[in-house]
Every structure is written in structure tokens, then in C-alpha cells.
Amino acid sequence: MLYLVPTPIGNLEDITFRSLRILKEVDIVLAEDTRISKKLFLHYNIDTPLRSHHTHNEHQSSENIVQQILAGANVALISDAGTPSISDPGFVLVKACIQAGIKVECLPGATAIIPALVCSGLPSNRFYFEGFLPHKKGRQTRLLYLAELSCTFIIYESPHRLEKCIMQLIEYCGDQRKAVVCREISKMFEEYARGTLKELHLLLLNKQLKSKGEIVIVVAGKEKVKKKKKI
């Protein structure tokens, strides 16, 4: 069968006992970047063979893995950090396994979405996860869509695009929309900067908010305009 195993997004202690057992018991572990995964494996004395499975080879790799599982192998898929298939490779292999009648099991575990949302202080009863915005084509369309959502929405962003993203959010959502920039979740320099989009932009300009590390942006939904009651 195929196991989807979440790995720590920062602190190596953020992995379950079950995840460690599965990684030690399976025949093969597919990793987005084997160099990064080796650090985790060395830390927990895991000697299961690692194979590369990333965005550029996942279609070809998936076909081979399906055949190996059908022949009797148990396989685990991990990403560099977090849960496979969430803004990381995984979907292609999962779909191929399901179509081949292979059992797929996803273990619960680390992801940046939930800690960012829960610690944001913004409404968490309903939320929308966007992931990474398109760099060019389709970016404006996505921003227009997000700006009209009435629920909290979550974006992943790279450090060197953080200021540009905040400025675009101001353009489409208004500078008074509340938001939170979450940085380096579960790591030594974990940081949450809260305020309006305008305030967050000023923090960036004044170097009070660093554009370094893994970044998650949580933005409040659009407030509904209350209609005045007719007298």
C-alpha cells in the first residue's frame, strides 16, 4: 500500500510515533529532496532506502511505483516538510494508486496551515486555503477572487515576494483589512506579525518584520456591508 507521511515543518520533534514506525517498516520512502530527508532519517536512525519523487519526475516515477506496489512493496511518500500533496508533490501518485486499486493511507501530522490559522486570532470556523499564488498569469484573477471571500483565507509566500504580495493585497482588499504574517512556524525564530495590511507593510518597510524563512499569510474575510433598515 501507499502511505502519505507528514514530516516536521521545523522542529524535528513534531513527528508522530506512528510516522516513525511506518518510515522504518516500509520497503521504500519517496522523498521530494533526498538530501533534506536524510537529515530526518539520520536523526531518528531510519535506514529505509530513499528515492527521489518531485514535481519534475512524478509522472514517470508514479508509474514505476504503482508497479512496485502491485508486486508487493509497501511505499511511503514524504515531502521536504509538512504533508505530501499540500503545495507539494503527491496528487499524481495518489490518483495513480487509486486508479490501480491500491490502498492509500494518509497519516495525520505537521502542516503550516492549521498553526498559522489558529494562532492568527482571525475567525477559524470557516477558511479558504489558496496555497501559492501564480507568479504571473492568473495572479490578478486569484487576488480578485480572494478579496471577495467572506471567510479567512490563507496564502503561502516566498520571502522575496512578501512585500509585493502585501502591496497587492492592499490593492485588492484595502489597506485596513486585518491580516497576519506567520514566519518560521515551529522553528527557533517563529514570529507572528498582526495588524492591518497597511500596518504590516510599514513593519516590512521599517525592517521590523523580516522577509526570511517559510512564510504564511492569513487574511480576514471581507466584511459584509450592513443594509440600513428602512424607516
Q: What is the CA radius of gyration of the chain?
A: 20
Q: Are 138 and 81 in a shared domain?
A: no
- For residues 153 and 225, what is the distance between their CA atoms, to the nearest angstrom? 19
Which of the pair, 225 or 79, is modelled with greater confidence? 79
| Domain-embedded: residue 25 | yes
Q: Are residues 122 and 162 in the same domain?
A: yes
Burial level of 203, CB count in 10 A (0-12/13-18/19+)?
middle
Both 84 and 26 in a single domain? yes
| Domain-embedded: residue 226 | no
- Average pLDDT of every residue of the chain: 94
pLDDT band at 219 (very low <50, low <70, confident <90, very high): very high
Position 24 pLDDT exceeds 90: yes
The whole-number pLDDT of residue 229 equals 64
Provide the 3-class DSSP secondary structure of residue 39: helix
Residues 27 and 69 in one domain: yes
| 24 shares its domain with 78 | yes
* pLDDT surpasses 70 at 231: no
**Under 8 Å between Cβ of 135 and 33:** no
Which candidate, 7, 9, 14, places its Cα nearest to that of 30? 7
pLDDT digits 0-9 by tens, 167-177: 999 999 999 99
Report residue 164's pLDDT band, with 50, 70 and 90 as the boundaries: very high
SS (H, E, C) 63-91: HHHHHHHHCCCCEEEECCCECCCCCCCCH
The residue length of the chain stands at: 231
Same domain, 48 and 134: no
Q: Are residues 68 and 154 in the same domain?
A: no
> How confident is the model at residue 60, as a pLDDT?
86
Residues 90 and 119 in one domain: no
* Domain of residue 96, residue span: 2-106
In a domain, 19, yes or no: yes
- How do residues 36-94 score in pLDDT, each as one tens digit? 999 999 999 999 999 999 888 888 889 999 999 999 999 999 999 999 999 888 999 99
206 and 145 together in one domain? yes
The answer to whether residue 9 sits within a structural domain is yes
Instruction: Looking at the structure, tell me whether residues 182 and 150 fall in a common domain.
Output: yes
Residue 117 belongs to a domain: yes
Q: Is the pTM of this model over 0.85?
A: yes
**Block residue for cell numbers 494562532:** 119
Q: What is the CATH number of the domain that holds 199?
A: 3.30.950.10
Q: What pLDDT digit, counting tens, does each position of 172-208 carry?
A: 999 999 999 999 999 989 999 999 999 999 999 998 9
Q: Span 3-21, mean pLDDT? A: 96
Domain of 69, CATH number, reads 3.40.1010.10
Contact 5, 109 (CB under 8 A): yes
Give me the pLDDT at residue 136, please.
87
Count of domains in the chain?
2
What is the Cβ-side half-sphere exposure of residue 52, based on CA atoms within 13 angstroms? 8
Same domain, 150 and 98: no
Domain assignment of residue 228, yes or no: no
Query: Can you give the pLDDT at residue 212?
Result: 87
Is the pLDDT at 230 greater than 70? The verdict is no
Give the cell for residue 99. 486508479
Final residue of a structural domain among 40, 71, 106 = 106
